[in-house]
Structure 1
Amino acid sequence: MSNSPVQQELKLRSGSVLKNRLCKSSMNEALATGEGRVVREFEVLYKTWAEGGSGLLVTGNVMVDAHHANEPLAVAVEDERDLTELKLWARAAKSQGGQIWAQLSHPGKQSPKFLNDSPVAPSAIPLVSDMFMPPRELREDEILDIIQRFTNTAVILQKAGFDGVQLHGAHGYLISQFLSPNHNKRTDQWGGSLENRMRFVTEVYKSIREATGKRFNIAIKLNSSDFQKGGFTHEESIEVAKVLDGLGIDLIEISGGSWENPVNRRGEQKESTRKREAYFLEFAEELKKNVSAPLMVTGGFRSQAAIEEALDSGAMDVAGLARPYAVDPNLANKILQGQGYRSTVEPITTGIKKVDDMAIMEISWYTNQIRRMAEGKAPGSKPRGLFSVINVFYQFWKRGQVVKRVRA
């Protein structure tokens, strides 16, 4: 296995080095308190994942504004009140020589109405779902405030010992909303042309870079497309990536879709994707021709063979996996040791299309396995669909989260 591409180090533009090419990509942990406070379970969970051998661990969504959360029990970092817990979290995650990056996020209008009855967005365009209240359009001073919030959160995390941050620019959250012509109908400097629509993310990046310095990693999770008619396209994604590459971004993770069109959540695959496993590998091959920043592809990888083939092809530099880590925290070691690893993760379905499209059973099952690891237990191996859903909602109730958080 000495020549396996997964074992190779990766030196980033920041000067830091990933010890191998495997990453636990972002999954919402649903462990915070109802107010978004960090708890000691994060330390236990990320020590478990660190011992699994990955070169990089990316956290679940860390909210830059506690009043705007993407889901219950998400972490929010607005000040240093949880600095001690953040330091313990970071130290545990780095205990085996890997790195930890926090995924910074603002959901914009994708903030469920049971959490937020006054969501905001680039434009006052509602989502086609009863789960969300119609948003109001952001004023320019509010846009500038959100940019500063991203920066403030990054600075606190840097102080706590995190190695970097990843901007969540995919899946229909606020950065993605600014990029999409479907959701951004503004006529000022923040909307209209692609140059204007990408201004928000470039200003967030530049502000964080200025505040944290060149040695702190800044990455982005970027949609290859939002797969909607008239929406953010592959061509536009390449242009955004080229601009961020020129600004010095440390890594680009490729994803796609949104709440309205959750491509990789529904399990739909082209034949070429089924053969190569990864959802966005073809786009990565195209993007690789246009940028020099390292690329990470997440979504679909289930076998050591497919990961090694994708790395060997040069289409990507890091393999990201999510759900497999929720049932097998030691998977990186198995791959690194050449055990011919193949994940047992398979879709969990009910046969009810609306339920399956929302992936309620899947999200609940994997959330419960993450919680088990955070409690020092081994993850389960047999899906228990309805029980998992009930247990997740019990945890939400237990932590006092399912109440509206409305800005005073």
Structure 2
Amino acid sequence: MNPLLISGFGTSINVEKRKLVIQNKLKNEIHEFYPHRIEHDSIIVDGHTGHITFESMRWLTKHNVSLSLLNWDGNLLSVTLPDSPISGKLRIKQYQKYLDAKTRHKIATEFVKSKIGSSLNLLKELSKFHDFDFEKAKQGFDSETRFFLGKPVHSIQDILGYEGRIARFYFDALQKIFEKIAPQFHFTSRSNYDHKRADHASDEINALFNYGYAILVSETRKAINSVGLDAEIGFLHEILSSRTPLVYDLQELFRWIIDYSIIQLLEDHKLKKSDFVVTENYHIRLRENTAKLLIEKIRFNFNHKMPYRKKNFTYQNILYDQIQQIANFISDKRKDIEFVVPHWVINRDDNSMLRNRILSLTPDQRRKLGINKSTLWYMKRNLNDGKTVKIYGKILSKLDEIDRS
């Protein structure tokens, strides 16, 4: 994944002497790409005025670069996609699988099973570095799972209800993290009193969620299109007008990457209220620089390689492969379906146990470690504020010596 964000008034996209030229004269910015030398796989347009030529749209299509247009609130408005494979038989099979209640139930259950596993894993990893009651969240997950599996028959609504209740435990845990690392943004939940859906963000963190999920939707739609499936026929989410249920189904497998990217961004403690825009209806949207920071976190995480099918693959490639696997199941090339997404492991040297050891250091222990008094004061202040700190190997070894003495 390597998107290019285009934002601001007066942006133009055209082709000049074979080159794709993206220009904003007001900001004195210009991007030029020669044919077959564009490193970006998508362009995200977050602006309200400007123009794009037919020739540039043709250029992007020829180079397999999608063009995503975001609405004022950061939600995906539309996306242009390259040609889809001619797959009439695959789509007929997809419709048949959807109409078969037993098969649809099987696929929907696997979507939720994978999402819940990844969500619980992320909370477990985050609990190593953030103070929240992971065991309480896990007990909620386990209780709902036992209740769900204890029923002899499940409808699609039962599965959605199960997923929704798990999501509440999940976001309750995330709320505790956000309360510590970004209290100024006052995140409480994904829903508002006046909107059951979170489309219109009433706080900065929900605006980050909306923007990040829009990026994920765009990437998922592009991947579905490349395989030849019909995005309007899903298995977990219901068919609705102007909706793409299969996109929503598949993005459930990777939502946690967006969630973690947002936490990473907030852990940097660089975002302020002024990095967001408040609309006349008191909804929140991201400024251009904030969007770029979030996109960079998402890009890095989706390009992270993990062991998968005895090789190392990026999460972006794993997304494409999961879609190919469901296409194989739909076309009867495989007998069973299971969504396998490698669990993330957070590699940091400032886990909760170590952070507590630093916070509890006595003056005598500080001197043995060779830490300056003011340095320790700043370390403790940053740790109390939920910030990350660099703990060097020399300090770690001396801490072990203190523990043994």
Query: Taking structure 2 as the reference length, what is the TM-score of the superposition?
Result: 0.23
Query: Taking structure 1 as the reference length, what is the TM-score of the superposition?
Result: 0.22
The structure with the larger Rg is: 2
